Amino acid sequence: MQTLFTIGVLVVVAAVAAAIWWRSQRTAAAGRAGHWFKAFAAEQGGTFGSGDGTGSPTFGVVHPAGRPLTGGPADPWVEFRVGTRPALAIDTRESYRHFDDHTYFRDLHVTQVRVPPGPELRIVPGRPVSMPTLPPDSGLDAELARWLAANPRFGQREVVVENGAARTWGQGCATRPNVTADARYLADLADHLPAALWRFSGDAS
């Protein structure tokens, strides 16, 4: 009898847990479908994706890996234009380990603009510009060092340029102000990067 009671309790607990999970999934899906990106895309003549796997941007990479997107991101995204450049914003989350050794998640927004193919370029505040895919004697290092010295405003944000996209990111959910500001910043940076950068193959070695 005790065994049957225990089984009954476990069944009820499992049913309640399943109902809570189902409701949370429905709520999350509804939230993604009603994301502010949708209205923003309509205003900008852009494209909205709720992260349900339907549709995909015309360019972009997976953050932080940098691989080209092969389909729609698994999070809400919007593609629009900033000036003449296509731009992409993704509202996502990233995992991190806390001091208690548990894994937690925090909101993250990633913004990208399309750029010509070229070598990987990394800008980190307080560090020299780096190009991991080029040899140290490529000649481009010195040119980019001079460029950054002449344009110090472009050394204040972490930016990665690779696989046809320049991207930056920040903690917190995507908002209209941070998405538009980041896209304009990236477009301005891309317009001012040395032309020699785009003459190198992204596979140079």
For residues 71-81, give the mean pLDDT. 95
Interval 102-124: pLDDT, tens = 788 999 999 999 999 999 999 99
Write out the E strands in 19-129.
47-49, 77-82, 85-97, 103-114, 121-123
User: Comparing C-alpha atoms, which of 105, 67, 113, 112 is closest to residue 90?
Assistant: 112
CB neighbours of residue 198 within 10 Å: 13
How large a percentage of the chain has pLDDT more than 70? 81
Name the residue with higher pLDDT: 76 or 29: 76
Residue spans per domain, the chain: 1-33, 37-199
pLDDT band at 33 (very low <50, low <70, confident <90, very high): low
For residues 135-140, give the mean pLDDT. 82
| CA atoms 75, 62, 64, 197: torsion sign | negative
User: Does the pLDDT of residue 53 top 60, yes or no?
Assistant: yes
CATH of span 37-199 = 3.30.1460
pLDDT band at 19 (very low <50, low <70, confident <90, very high): very low
pLDDT band at 195 (very low <50, low <70, confident <90, very high): very high
Angle at 22 between CA 18 and CA 23, to 5 degrees: 120
User: Does the pLDDT of residue 199 top 90, yes or no?
Assistant: no
User: Comparing C-alpha atoms, which of 114, 112, 89 is closest to residue 164?
Assistant: 114
The pTM for the full model equals: 0.80
CB-side exposure of 60: number of CA atoms within 13 Å?
23
| CA atoms 87, 92, 95, 99: torsion sign | positive
Angle at 137 between CA 127 and CA 188, to 5 degrees: 50
Interval 161-170: pLDDT, tens = 999 999 999 9
